[in-house]
Amino acid sequence: MEILAFGVTADEKPLLERAFAGHHEVRCLDVFLSEDTAPIAAGYEIVSSSVNADLGARVLNALSAGGTKMIAQRSTGFNNIDLDVARRLGMTVGRVSYYSPHSVAEFAWTLALAVNRKVVRAAIRTRDFDFRLNGLMGRDFHGRTAGILGTGKIGEAFARIAHGFGMGLLGWDVARNPACLELGMTYVDKEELLARSDLISLHVPLLESTHHLIDAAALKAMRDDAILVNSSRGGLIDTAALVDELRAGRFTGIGLDVYEAEAGVFFLDKSLEAVEDDTLARLVTFPHVVVTSHQAYYTADAVGQIIDTTVRNVADYLAGRRSENTLVPSA
């Protein structure tokens, strides 16, 4: 059987081909699955999608009409998939429920350190042979407080690194993680965490209840010199409200690996096009803001695990099995 994979990067392609070798053929496309590209999948029973694919009702109906019966999403998040429509169409939808939490946690810390120590600005200066230190002063994380919103596997990994820095730990979650408690974490309500934390990192899924978890009120509750990092989902932050606070001169630094309107922008080369998103265009102009293109998961270890799980999801579908990765079983 030949499987069609959308949104495959150049780094990912050989890993996918090697993982499926001896089992199935895989056709890799660098374009993302959308209403415009869905017709390419006609005749393919199994389609693999990336995190920024559009799997709304119109795309799912187009895929189903073309004969697609199984979607293997190569990500943990699935807020881009209309599961009710997939269920009505009798499609099977699988995802990757687990991959290396260290990949995301370590990158979140990369962003935190970069904005704290002004690494991007310093690197740009030295390339121009400007070796002055003015404006590059950071501060020690040791002895300060890290607030972690979401203390699952990734939040726990982030907490362990914070503990290694000698930071105090505050946590917020629907359930307490025993491993985080052992590290000395104190669980508090969101408002107290925002008010007391020097560094705030987001590690919760994007659900209806967490959309704009960091809204205008939450931003105002944060300390003026706080650092905010988001390596989870862009929709957790009200970006327009964030820009308003940045324009008011607040916060030591903001590190964002995700953006709420990133679909159709991230993972693509837009360097020769006019920027249509005024909020994003304004956001990247602030010198203490670092924006990266949803790459926190992008390590050989994590991508390898994602692909291995995708291969298993396809095998489970063909064998009629369900697993913890099955979001929607076929009828």
What are 4's two structure tokens? 């069609």
User: Measured between alpha carbons, how far is 243 from 302 in angstroms, rounded to an integer?
Assistant: 32
User: Measured between alpha carbons, how far is 119 from 135 in angstroms, rounded to an integer?
Assistant: 11
Which ranges of the chain have pLDDT less than 70? 330-331
Give the per-residue pLDDT at 263: 84
Strands of the 70-73 sheet, one edge to the other = 25-28, 2-5, 46-49, 70-73, 92-94, 326-328
Give the number of other CB atoms < 10 A from CB of residue 172. 22
User: Measured between alpha carbons, how far is 272 from 236 in angstroms, rounded to an integer?
Assistant: 29
**Residue tagged 């979140």 (tokens):** 108
Q: Which helix (H) or strand (E) holds 25?
A: strand 25-28
Give the per-residue pLDDT at 330: 67
Contact (CB, 8 A) for 178 and 153: no
What does R_g of the chain's alpha carbons equal in angstroms? Answer: 21
Q: Are strands 168-172 and 186-187 parallel, antiparallel or unpaired?
A: parallel
Give the per-residue pLDDT at 260: 94
Give the per-residue pLDDT at 201: 98
What are 103's two structure tokens? 């990949």
Of 73, 39, 2, give the one whose Cα is nearest residue 328.
73
The CA dihedral of 189, 195, 198, 199, to the nearest 10 degrees, is 40
Question: What's the pTM value of the predicted model, to 2 decimals?
Answer: 0.91
Catalytic residues: 233, 262, 294
User: Measured between alpha carbons, how far is 39 from 35 in angstroms, rounded to an integer?
Assistant: 8
Q: Are strands 145-149 and 92-94 parallel, antiparallel or unpaired?
A: unpaired
